[in-house]
Chains A and B, each alone.
Chain A
Amino acid sequence: MNRHLSGAGVGVVLALIALVVFGAWRYDGFVSPYNILTVLRYNSMFALVGLGMCFVIMTGGIDLSVGSVAAMSSVVSAYLSPYGLVAGLVGGVGVGLIAGSLSGFIITRMKLLPFIATLAVMLAASGTALLLANNQSVSVSYDTAFMTLGQGNLLAGFKPEWIDGEDAGWAGAALGLLFNFPTPAWMALVAYVIGSVLLNALPFGRHVLAIGGGEEASRLMGLPTDRTVFLAYLISGGLAGMAGVILAAQFGAGQPIEGIGWELFAIASVVVGGTLLTGGKGSIFATLAGVLLLGLIFTILNFENGVGWISLSAYWQSVVRGAFLLVVVILQSRLARRVPA
């Protein structure tokens, strides 16, 4: 069986393809480069947070702190943005790593349940964000290249002239997608490739899955359980920090009260991607598909309202997302029962 996409993972990719085909058939401009790139740009933050959550859930844990860690990191990177792109990025990811190591410490050293440990870190990060930002949003410096982390396109500088021309054709459109690919989406893509290598090709990935399958057994086998669990929370914190940097750069401000509910959205994406919440199994790219699937529901609702047949308020998106999650978990429970683990 293919390790990258197995079982429920194939299902989510098929569902994603079906949703895209439906959108392309029903709405003008749904598969236009502009729309595709907008969706990717906006959802890259959630993709990063979902990746970290995927690692944590595979160890059998959970990380409730990702949303407020992203908020805290957006504030820190906004403060550092006058010193340049690198300062903002390093500072934002740095505070994320600090928060992640705090979670890891409380869980592995103080032996608290991940749920309660990361709940505390969530409160602490939220308090720190508000304290640093003085309860306001912190504007980002427009003088440095920091904003390009959210709003720029990494390869835009190399784009040949003819691509935007009228007679560029299919090749032009494909290359256009490449050269107009948003910087935050590049960051997410690279993170997912690294994450996939970590999980599938390195001992760390084996350890993560072994611990999720049975922590006590892994410990007895001599696996470095504490170190692996600690690293999983460190990764989650760092990626949440990176999402916070993108948040600040994309919207031009560090936002101390953003990120509410991100953790549960990320958990939903991971579950829709077929990763078991009991740990021990998981797929990196199916998580990405889960993020895009839940994100596309929002886009589809927007387009549906544009068609004008029915008018659904934005509030419907959470109902639809919840219903979607419901279908997925019921199907999963049916599958799990047929094939006893």
Chain B
Amino acid sequence: MSVGVESPLAPAPGRGKLTGPGIGQGGARAATILRRFGSLIALAALILLNLALTPHFATMQTLSVNLTQICTIVIVGVGMTLVIATGGIDLSVGSLMAIAGALAPGFFTGALFHGTNLYVNIALSIIVPVGVAGLFGLFNGWLVSHFRIQPIIATLVLFIAGRGIAQVWTNGDLQVFKMPEFQAIALGHVLGVPFQVWIMLALVVVSAWILRRTVFGRQILAVGGNEPAARLAGVPVSRVKRLVYVASGLCSGIAGLIVIAMNSAADANLIGMGMELDAIAAVAVGGTLLSGGRATIVGTLIGAMIIQLVRYTLLANGVPDSAALIAKAVLIVFAVWLQRQERA
């Protein structure tokens, strides 16, 4: 089957297989190293390649440009990794970004709320849209856990309807605004690094910690690894599923706000367009198992960096963007295929 929960009877690919007796100790160790650090090695190789090939690569500006390019993808990818770790998928992320992005300007332009205190308005313009996106995430989780609808279909509902809701809300109009205090979430700098990069890093660190060190994190992986077994072991499967979709919704909301803050405008037709596929690609290249049960948040960050660096390398060396798309396709297939080989 393509996505969704692995049948409990069919062994998941690559899991539960014993290493062949013919493979020696050294080979096994090399394989372990490759599996654990494969994507990191690829990233290092790409950076070295760029240092040799691309002029002006080792500058703060290059770093800044590339990091801001992947910021929203990684933020959405964090939530997506958690969802995929349970064996699900979230196609609605781009539409939830649009909803959050379409809601936010109403709080400081006065269309939604007439507050006298600027900072109260800005706090509301962040909290309410992110919260609404989280509620839509809860709706996804409810469809998946309560009705047992396959995640790809359950989230397809909001993929289709969500952008429509954002467009109806704004009547499809572009909302232009200038609000430096709000836009600081994307454009501000702390220690010379854009604030959105800090947000991204914070989310990565916190969720990597949750996934690795907390009971909830182990429960996520248990649900994705073998749902019936997890249920029998007393894992609250439905609650875990609801929570990961809420997390994905919250992450999408944050990403939506960053997009409108960067653009100084909210366009419900465009915010987060195609984001679901970018995020899924980053998750897959990063080494998370798409059928669930094994996930790495840091891997998703590295995956997004690899995809972006390949694109940057090609563009910086005069390859057109359309050809870079083809390279991205080859990269995704190659990376996921390689992970399969390592596991087998």
| Size band of the interface chain B makes with A | 35 or more
Q: Dominant SS at the B interface?
A: helix
Other-chain residue from B150, B325, B333 in contact with A130 (beta carbon distance below 8 A): B325
Q: How many A-B residue pairs have CB under 8 A?
A: 159
Q: Is the CB of A116 within 8 A of B336?
A: yes
| Residues 141-165 of B contacting A (Cβ, < 8 Å) | 143, 147-150, 152-154, 156-165
Q: CB-defined interface of A250-274 with B at 8 Å, one 1/0 digit per residue?
A: 0000000000100011011001000
| Residues 232-279 of B contacting A (Cβ, < 8 Å) | 273-274, 277
Chain A residue numbers with a CB within 8 Å of B291 are 113
Tell me how far the C-beta of B13 lies from the nearest C-beta in chain A, rounded to whole angstroms: 7
Interface size on A (CB < 8 Å)?
A: 55
Q: Dominant SS at the A interface?
A: helix
Choose the segment among A9-17, A160-168, A311-319 that binds chain B (4+ C-beta atoms closer than 8 Å).
A311-319
* A115-B2, A264-B91, A313-B171 known; A325-B160 Cβ under 8 A: yes
B299 within 8 A of A: no
A76 to B109, CA, bound (A): 47
Tell me how far the C-beta of B207 lies from the nearest C-beta in chain A, rounded to whole angstroms: 22
A147 within 8 A of B: no
| Residues 110-131 of A contacting B (Cβ, < 8 Å) | 110-117, 119-124, 126-131
A322 within 8 A of B: yes
B324 within 8 A of A: yes
A64 to B320, CA, bound (A): 24
Q: Is the CB of B153 within 8 A of A321?
A: no
A326 to B127, CA, bound (A): 28
Q: Is the CB of A112 within 8 A of B323?
A: no
Chain B residue numbers with a CB within 8 Å of A127 are 322-326, 328-329
Chain A residue numbers with a CB within 8 Å of B10 are 215-216
Q: Is the CB of B329 within 8 A of A318?
A: no
A329 within 8 A of B: yes
| Residues 52-67 of A contacting B (Cβ, < 8 Å) | 60-62, 64
Chain A residue numbers with a CB within 8 Å of B2 are 60-62, 113-115
Give me the 7 closest cross-chain CB pairs, A-B, nearest first: A322-B161, A127-B325, A318-B164, A130-B322, A315-B167, A124-B329, A319-B164
**A–B Cβ pairs within 8 angstroms, 26 of them:** A60-B2, A110-B333, A110-B337, A111-B13, A112-B333, A112-B340, A115-B290, A117-B333, A119-B277, A120-B333, A122-B277, A123-B326, A123-B332, A124-B326, A124-B330, A260-B273, A267-B153, A268-B156, A315-B168, A318-B160, A322-B160, A322-B162, A325-B161, A330-B149, A333-B149, A336-B148
